[in-house]
Amino acid sequence: MFYISLAVLVVQNASLILSIRYVRTLPGERFFATTAVVMAELLKGATCLLVKQFALFLYDAVVVQYVDTLKLAVPSLIYTLQNNLQYVAISNLPAATFQVTYQLKILTTAVFSVLMLRKSLSRLQWVSLLLLFTGVAVVQVEQGQVGGGSSPGAAQQSYAVGLVAVVVSCLSSGLAGVYFEKILKGSSASVWLRNVQLGIFGTLLGLLGMWWAEGAAVAAQGFFHGYSPLVWGVILNQAFGGLLVAVVVKYADNILKGFATSLSIVASTVASMYLFGFRLHPPFALGAGLVIGAVYMYSLPKAGPPLGPRQEPTA
Ligand code: C5P
C-alpha cells in the first residue's frame, strides 16, 4: 500500500497541475477558481462520509450481526438456486406454460407459511387460494397455447427438464420467501440491512454456481459475453423485482404478495386489450372473475376453526 499510494500520488499530482493549466488557458469564459476549491472540498467530505457510513453499515451487517448474516445464507442459497432454475425453466418451456405452472407457488407459500410461521388460515382462505391458483392458470392458458406450438429453438428444448425446474422453483419460492419473512419479522433490523446480507451470500453463491456450471466457458469468452442492452434490462428488472418483493413482504406477507401478483397478471391482460387490441374471450373473463372472487374471499373475516397447526378448539 505504501508504494502504491506514492505511485498514485505522483501520477495524480502531475495530472492535476497539467489539467489546471490546461483549463485555465482555454479560450472563452473562465470558471471561478474559488468555486472549484469549494466543490473539491465538498466532494471530498461527501465521499468520506459515504465511505465511512458504508463501511460502518457493512461492518454491522457482516461482522456484528454475524449470526443473522449466517441465517440469511439459507434463503440466499435457495433463492440463488431458484433464480438459476427460472432461466432453465423459461428456456425450456413456452412462456405461458411456465407462468401457469409457476403459480403453484401460491399454494407452496401458503403451506410453508402455516408450517414455519404458524399462520392460521380458515377453510375459506384455503379455498380462496385454490381459486386464485385456478383463476391465474385459466388467464394464462387463455393468453398462450399451453405446451403447444413450436417456438424458435424448440429442438434444443426439453419439456421434462423445464417442468422439473419450474416445480422445484415453486417449492423454493415458498420456502425461501417464508424463511426470509421469518428472519425479517423476527428482529427489528431494517429490510435494507437484511437484503445486503442476502445479497452478499447471493453474489458469492451465484459466483460458485457460475464457476461450477459454466466456469470454463465464462473464462474463455468473458463474464459479459453476449450482454446486450436488453440483457441489462432483464437484469435490472430482476433486481428491482427482488427489492420490491422484500418491501412487500415487510409491510404485508408472502401470501398477500401472491394475491398482488395474480391481480397484476389480470390487470396487465386487461391493459393489453386496450393497448394491443387483445380480444376478451370467455375463459379470460372466467379466470379474472375467479381471481377477483378469491381476493374477496381471502379478505373476509374469519369464521369457524382455522386450519393449521395453531388450531383452537371451538367453543
Ligand atoms: O417468484 P418469487 O416471488 O418467489 O421471486 C422472488 C424474487 O425476489 C427472487 O428473484 C428473489 O431472489 C428476490 N428476492 C430478493 N430479496 C428478498 C426476497 C426476494 O431479491 N428479500
Interface pTM (ipTM) of the complex? 0.95
Protein residue with least CA distance to atom 15, ligand 1: 242
Q: Which three cell numbers stand for residue 243?
A: 427489492
Distance 13 CA to ligand 1 centre (A): 47
Q: Mean per-residue pLDDT for 40-47?
A: 90
Ligand 1 contact, 104 CB (< 6 A): no
Q: How confident is the model at residue 84 (pLDDT cuts 50, 70, 90)?
A: very high
Backbone dihedral angles phi then psi of residue 162, each to the nearest 5 degrees: -60, -40
Identify the pLDDT of residue 173. Answer: 95
Residue 137 CA: distances (Å) to CA of 22, 97, 271, 294: 66, 9, 18, 13
Among 245, 250, 259, 262, say which to mutate for ligand 1: greatest number of ligand atoms within 8 Å of CB. 245
Identify the pLDDT of residue 89. Answer: 93
Contacts of 294 (CB under 8 A, 6+ apart): 128, 129, 131, 132, 135, 259, 262
Q: How confident is the model at residue 313 (pLDDT cuts 50, 70, 90)?
A: very low
Among 79, 196, 203, 248, say which to mutate for ligand 1: greatest number of ligand atoms within 8 Å of CB. 79
Protein residue with least CA distance to atom 18, ligand 1: 246
Cα 282 versus chain centre, distance: 33
Q: Mean per-residue pLDDT for 200-225?
A: 92
Residue type, 192: W
Do residues 133 and 106 lie in contact, with contact meaning Cβ atoms separated by under 8 Å? yes
Question: What is the tens place of the pLDDT at every residue in 98-132?
Answer: 888 888 899 999 999 999 999 999 999 999 999 99
Rounded distance between C-alpha atoms, residue 148 and residue 142, angstroms: 12
Identify the pLDDT of residue 99. Answer: 83
Surface-to-core class of residue 209, CB atoms within 10 Å of its CB (0-12 exposed, 13-18 middle, 19+ buried): middle
Q: How confident is the model at residue 276 (pLDDT cuts 50, 70, 90)?
A: confident
Cross-strand partners of 99: none
Ligand 1 contact, 206 CB (< 6 A): no
Protein residue with least CA distance to atom 9, ligand 1: 242
Rounded distance between C-alpha atoms, residue 143 and residue 49, angstroms: 51
**168: helix, strand or coil:** helix
244 has a pLDDT exceeding 70: yes
Q: Which three cell numbers stand for residue 281?
A: 374471450
pLDDT cut 70: percent of the chain above it: 91
Q: How confident is the model at residue 68 (pLDDT cuts 50, 70, 90)?
A: confident
Identify the pLDDT of residue 281. Answer: 78
Residue 170 CA: distances (Å) to CA of 8, 36, 128, 294: 51, 56, 19, 20
**8: helix, strand or coil:** helix
Distance 142 CA to ligand 1 centre (A): 27
Protein residue with least CA distance to atom 12, ligand 1: 79
Q: How confident is the model at residue 315 (pLDDT cuts 50, 70, 90)?
A: very low
For the CA of 83, the nearest atom of ligand 1? 10
Lowest mean pLDDT among 52-66, 98-112, 165-179: 52-66
Q: Mean per-residue pLDDT for 32-60?
A: 89
Average predicted confidence (pLDDT) for the chain: 86
Rounded distance between C-alpha atoms, residue 272 and residue 248, angstroms: 25
Protein residue with least CA distance to atom 16, ligand 1: 242
Entry field: residues in the chain: 315
Identify the pLDDT of residue 147. Answer: 47
307 has a pLDDT exceeding 60: no
314 has a pLDDT exceeding 70: no
Ligand 1 contact, 91 CB (< 6 A): no
**First-to-last C-alpha distance (Å) of the chain:** 74
Question: What is the tens place of the pLDDT at every residue in 129-158?
Answer: 999 989 888 887 776 654 455 555 666 788
Residue type, 90: I
Residue among 294, 293, 284, 270 nearest 138 (CA): 284
